[in-house]
Structures are given as C-alpha cells and as structure tokens.
Amino acid sequence: MKYMLRILSGTVAVVGLLWSVNASAGAAQGFKFMEKQGCTACHNISGNVNAKTVGLWRKGPDLYYAGDKYNQNWIATWLQKPTRIRPSGAFYLDHTQTGVKWNTLRQDSLKPHVRLSALDAKNVAQALSELRSKDQLIEAEHYNPDITVPTALGDMMFDKVNGCLACHSIEPNYGGLSAPELYTAAARLKPEYMLSYIRDPQAWNHKTWMPTRELSEEDMQKTVNYIISLGSDKSRSMMKNAVEQSAATNYRVYCMQCHGISGKGSGINSRDMEVPPRNHSDSKYLKTRTNAELFKAIKEGGASISKSALMPPWGGTLSDAEIKGLVKHIRKLCKCGFEGSNNQQ
C-alpha cells in the first residue's frame, strides 16, 4: 500500500513537473516565434528604451511589461482575431491627414494586424505574460471593485469633469480617436494597470500623450470601475436604468416649472396661465390619450395637437429617446395606460 502510494505521488509529481515544463516550453516557443516572425520590428519586448530618441515614434505598443498590463487570456484570444483597439494606430500622427472640417484618419494606412494560429497565440501569450518589469507599479495599487459609480455619473466624470472622452471612446464610434478605446478594457487590462496608468501615465511611458490629472483615490477607483462596466451586460442594463433616471431628471429640469413637483399641474409658472398645465397624475384624462399623442405633444408642443401653445415644443431640446422616456414617466405618474377604443398604444 505504502509502495503504491509512493508510485502514485511519484506520478503526480512527474505530471506536475511535465506540466510546468510544458508551460515554460510554451513561453520559450512563444519567444522564438516572435523573433522569427519579426514582431520586435514593431514591438519593444526587451525594455531597452533609448531615452534620446522620441520613444513614441513607434510602430506598435510596448510589450516589454505585457505581463503587468494584459490579461493573458485576452492576448491569446486577440492574436487569433485581432480587432482595432487604437482607432488611429500606434501613433496617431502617422495616420492623420487634413480634412474639410477637421483632420481625418487615413484608413488605407491603418493595416490589419498579423493573425496567429491558436497554438502560436497561446505560446506567445504565455511568453508575453512573463514580461513583468513593472511589477512594482502593479504591486503598489489596491484595486477595490466595490467603489462604484452609477453609469450616468460615471459618464459625467469621464466626459465633462475629467475630459477623458476627448481622447478615448466609450463605445464604438463614440469618443476621441487618439487613444485606445476603453469599452473592451475590462477583458484586456488588469484593473491595477488601469489605476496605475491613470495615476501616473509617465511611469509607463515617459513620452505618452496622455496627460497626468490629479484624481482623488476614490475617483480613480470609480473611474476604473466605470471603465470595467462599459463592456458588460450589467452596464448595458444600468444604462437602460440611466435612461429612466434621466427621464426623471429631464422632468425635473424641463417640466416641473409648469407641471409642478408632484406633476399635478401646479408649477411656479402656473399662476397666471390661462390654460393650466395638464395634471399628469390625472388617470381619468390620460387614459384617453395614446402614447403617440403624448409623444407628439411633448415633441411638437401643445399647438400641434390642437391644445394650448403654452405647452412648449421640446423636440429641439430632447432626443426622441428622451421624449419616449418622458412618456413612460408620465405613465408612471398617472399609473395608467391608454384605454381607448381604437386599440392604439
């Protein structure tokens, strides 16, 4: 029995050994492959940076700290099916031309990335994950997944407050073009890397054109969690909630002045109005109105549905989606739907 056990544990040890040999063999294969394929013509994997040359006139992003930056699985997946992450390539000026209204990108100069087989991609991902020369920056960060921010507020921080949207996109085709898109960052990047990069971009690349902005520790955690939420289903449903939230906000900002805090038509402007603002909690009346009629009244104003012109048109201020949100909001206030005879919604 003892003997059997010894054989067994021996086997386990050998399997374990083979496994780790296998893993490092994979990495070795990966490094060999990169050398042979000329990946280093575009990517710095050695970490030797010539301080005298302008480090940014590069053909591909630095990979010498790839193990500190990327999720290994993402590298393996992406290399088999590369998509564009930097809308304007590794360095935007290489792909920028003057245009009529503003500078545009020369799509012809933005070449697709070389594609790897599953095995090569796996080996390369393993090799790159061993490059960890900036471990100390990662170890200094303490990512906290619980310091979150509602999407609408996160949008505001990212856009109006801190100006990040000027360079980064938060969804395909929305945002700046000179920096990596961030809607896939959750799968791509380690959260500690994002924290560190936002805290001190120059520590990662002394010539980067990402400015350093002093954010509080809390705002940094919130921003990273906001970026992480961009790609997930959870964030999409949060965004849906945000539309509803913004309906409530829109109602406060635009409608309460006349329709009142409780929606009953008694806003501060209502005193001298010949036709009183509609009571939005009046289900008896609102049951007789279709959603299409309410939508039209809000978008084009009272006069468009033969009602008072004291109800202004909001089509110039609010998007159709926002107006739909307001119709829903009014349905909540009256706790009613259309109950007419013509079967319209």
Q: Copy the structure tokens of residue 295.
A: 């939508």
Q: Are 179 and 86 in contact (CB under 8 A)?
A: yes
Q: Does 340 interact with ligand HEC (rule: CB under 6 A)?
A: no
Alpha helix locations (H) across 189-306? Answer: 191-199, 201-204, 217-230, 233-250, 256-259, 283-286, 291-300
Residues 238-267 interacting with ligand HEC (rule: CB under 6 A): 254-255, 257-259
Report 4-33 residues binding ligand HEC (CB under 6 A): none
Q: Which is nearer to ligand HEC, 12 or 229 (CB)?
A: 229
Closest CA to 71 of 183, 170, 168, 193: 193
163 lines the binding site for ligand HEC (CB under 6 A): yes
The torsion defined by the Cα of 250, 251, 255 and 257, in degrees rounded to 10, comes to -100
The secondary structure element, H or E, covering residue 96 is strand 96-97
Q: Which two tokens stand for residue 64?
A: 């010498």
Does residue 191 belong to the site contacting ligand HEC (CB under 6 A)? no
Stretch of 99-107, 135-143, 237-245, 288-296 lying at the interface with ligand HEC (CB under 6 A): 288-296
CA distances to 168, 255, 263 from 252, rounded to whole Å, are 31, 6, 10
From the CB of 316, what's the least distance to ligand HEC, in Å?
11
- Find the binding residues for ligand HEC in span 39-78 (CB under 6 A): 39, 41-43, 59-61, 75
Stretch that binds ligand HEC, among 7-15, 142-150, 274-282, 331-339 (CB under 6 A): 274-282
Q: Does 150 bind ligand HEC (CB under 6 A)?
A: no
Angle, helices 233-250 vs 217-230, to 10°: value is 110
194 lies in the site for ligand HEC, by CB under 6 A: yes
Give the C-alpha separation, 225 to 230, whole Å.
9
Instruction: Using the minimum distance from each CB to ligand HEC, give the nearer residue, 81 or 240.
Output: 81
Among 191, 231, 277, 325, binds ligand HEC (CB under 6 A): 277
CA 255-260-261 angle, 5° bins: 100
Closest by CA position to 225, among listed 203, 188, 195: 195
Cβ-based nearer residue to ligand HEC, 18 or 140 = 140
In sequence order, what are the residues at sequence separation of 6 or more whose Cβ sits closer than 8 angstroms to the Cβ of residue 104? 96, 97, 98
Q: 211, 212, 261, 287: which one contacts ligand HEC (CB under 6 A)?
A: 211
Q: Which of 28, 55, 77, 86 binds ligand HEC (CB under 6 A)?
A: 86
Interaction site with ligand HEC (CB under 6 A) = 34, 37-39, 41-43, 59-61, 75, 79, 84-86, 89-90, 113-114, 124, 162-164, 166-168, 178-180, 189, 194, 197-198, 208-211, 213, 223, 227, 254-255, 257-259, 269, 273, 275, 277-278, 289, 293-294, 297-298, 302, 305, 307-308, 310-312, 314, 326, 330
